[in-house]
Chains A and B, each alone.
Chain A
Amino acid sequence: MTQLSGKRISKRSADDALIPLINIVFLLLIFFMVAGSIQPSIPVDISHPIANEVDNPIKPLAVQIVLTGEGTIYWNEQIVTIEKVQRVMQEQTPTQVNLHLAGSIKAIELEPLLNVLRAHKDTEISLITIQQGAL
C-alpha cells in the first residue's frame, strides 16, 4: 500500500514540477509573438538610412534588392550584376521592389541601379529605412 501511494505521489509531483516550466515557456512564446515581427531577411548587414517620420511598414512579398557600399548588388539574396537586374526586371516585371541601401551610399553610385528600376513605370520602388534608436 505504501509502495503504491509512493509511486502515485512521485508521478503527480513530476507533472506538478513541469507546470511552472510550461508557464514560463508560454510567456516567452507570447512575448515573441506579440513584440517581434516576421520580416524578410537580407543577405548582408547594412546600415539603413534613418527616417523617423515614416510609419509605412514594408511589404514582405516584394523583391528585395540590396546595394552595399562596395557596389555589390543582391537580388533576393543572390549576387547579381546590373545587367542581370535589367534582364530579370524585363522578364519578371515585379510590381514592388524594396531597395535596401546603406545611408552612406552616394547618389552617383545609386544612379545606374535606379535608372534600371525607373525604366519600368509600373514598378513601385521603395527605399527601406529604419527609425532612429532602432537596434
Chain B
Amino acid sequence: MSSIVTDDNIPLLTRSSRARKGISLTALIDVVFILLMFFMLTSTFIKLHKVQLQTAAAGDEVVKDQKTVQPQLIIIRESNHVDNNQGDLTTAGGFSLLTSSLVNGKHEQKFTRLTQLITQLDPAIAIVILPEPQVQVQMIIDSLMQLKSANFERVTLGNTLGTTSTKIQNEV
C-alpha cells in the first residue's frame, strides 16, 4: 500500500485508512440536546403528595362486642377558640369530639386541642372529621396529618356542618 509520508515521517493516509471515516459528533450532540430539552421542559422539582380522603377502611362499620359501632365524630370549629365548658374562651386549636352521650338532654360538646382529643379516641373505630363551613382546607389537612401521625388510619372527611347533607343524631 502506498502511503503519503509527512515531513515527520508519519504516514498521513493509507488506502485502508482512507476508506474509514471518523464518526461525526454533530449528530450525537443533536440527540443529546433534544433529550436535554425534553427533560428540562417536562421535569418538575415540586414533589406533590396525596392524602386520601375516602377509604374503604374508614367507611366500614366496626363490630365491637357484637354491636355495630358508629364512627367517632370530630368537629373542626371555624374560630380558633377553645371552650372549656366554663364560659372561658382561649385562643387555641378548635376541635370538638361529638360524643354520643347526653348531658341534660344535650350533646356534650367540649372544644379542645386535637392533641388532647386524641387521647380520648379509639384507634379501632373509624373517625369522621366534620368541618364547620368557614374552616379552610389547610386546617382540615393539618388535622388529618395529626391523626395519621398518632396512628389513626381509619380517618375520613365528612360533610360540612350546617349544610343540608349533614345530619347529626340528637339521640343515642
Q: Report how far A15 CA is from B133 CA in the complex, Å.
A: 68
Is the CB–CB distance between A25 and B50 below 8 Å?
Answer: no
> What 0/1 pattern do residues 102 to 135 of A give for CB contact below 8 A with B?
1111111011001100100101111111110011
Is the CB–CB distance between A125 and B52 below 8 Å?
Answer: yes
Determine the chain B residues whose CB is within 8 A of the CB of A39 once the complex forms: 44, 46, 48
**Chain B residue at minimum C-beta to C-beta distance from A135:** B46
Partner of B25, one of A22, A33, A128: A22
Q: Report how far A58 CA is from B108 CA in the complex, Å.
A: 40
Q: Is A50 interfacial (CB-CB < 8 Å)?
A: yes
Interface of B is mostly: mixed
State the interface size on chain B (CB cutoff 8 A).
53
Q: Report how far A117 CA is from B10 CA in the complex, Å.
A: 79
Question: Using a CB-CB cutoff of 8 Å, which residues 12-57 of chain B contact chain A?
Answer: 12-13, 22, 25-26, 28-29, 32-33, 35-36, 39-40, 42-55
Question: Using a CB-CB cutoff of 8 Å, which residues 16-48 of chain A contact chain B?
Answer: 18-19, 21-22, 25-26, 28-29, 32-33, 35-39, 41, 48
Determine the chain A residues whose CB is within 8 A of the CB of B71 once the complex forms: none
Determine the chain A residues whose CB is within 8 A of the CB of B55 once the complex forms: 124
Whether A128 touches B145, Cβ cut-off 8 Å, given contacts A39-B44, A103-B137, is: no
Whether A104 touches B136, Cβ cut-off 8 Å, given contacts A26-B32, A32-B36, is: yes
Partner of B47, one of A4, A108, A123, A131: A131
Whether A126 touches B12, Cβ cut-off 8 Å, given contacts A29-B36, A32-B39, A135-B46, is: no
Whether A111 touches B53, Cβ cut-off 8 Å, given contacts A5-B12, A32-B43, A53-B148, is: no
Whether A37 touches B43, Cβ cut-off 8 Å, given contacts A26-B32, A56-B50, A124-B52, is: yes
Give 27 CB contacts A-B under 8 Å.
A1-B6, A1-B7, A2-B7, A4-B13, A18-B25, A22-B28, A25-B32, A29-B39, A32-B40, A35-B45, A36-B39, A53-B145, A54-B49, A57-B50, A104-B137, A106-B133, A106-B136, A107-B131, A107-B136, A107-B140, A108-B134, A111-B160, A111-B165, A115-B159, A125-B53, A127-B53, A129-B49
Q: Which 8 residue pairs spanning A and B have beta carbons closest together?
A: A36-B43, A126-B50, A108-B133, A103-B138, A32-B39, A107-B131, A54-B49, A107-B160
Please list the residues of chain B having a beta carbon within 8 angstroms of any beta carbon in chain A. 4, 6-7, 12-13, 22, 25-26, 28-29, 32-33, 35-36, 39-40, 42-55, 59, 76, 131-138, 140-142, 144-145, 148-149, 157, 159-160, 162-163, 165
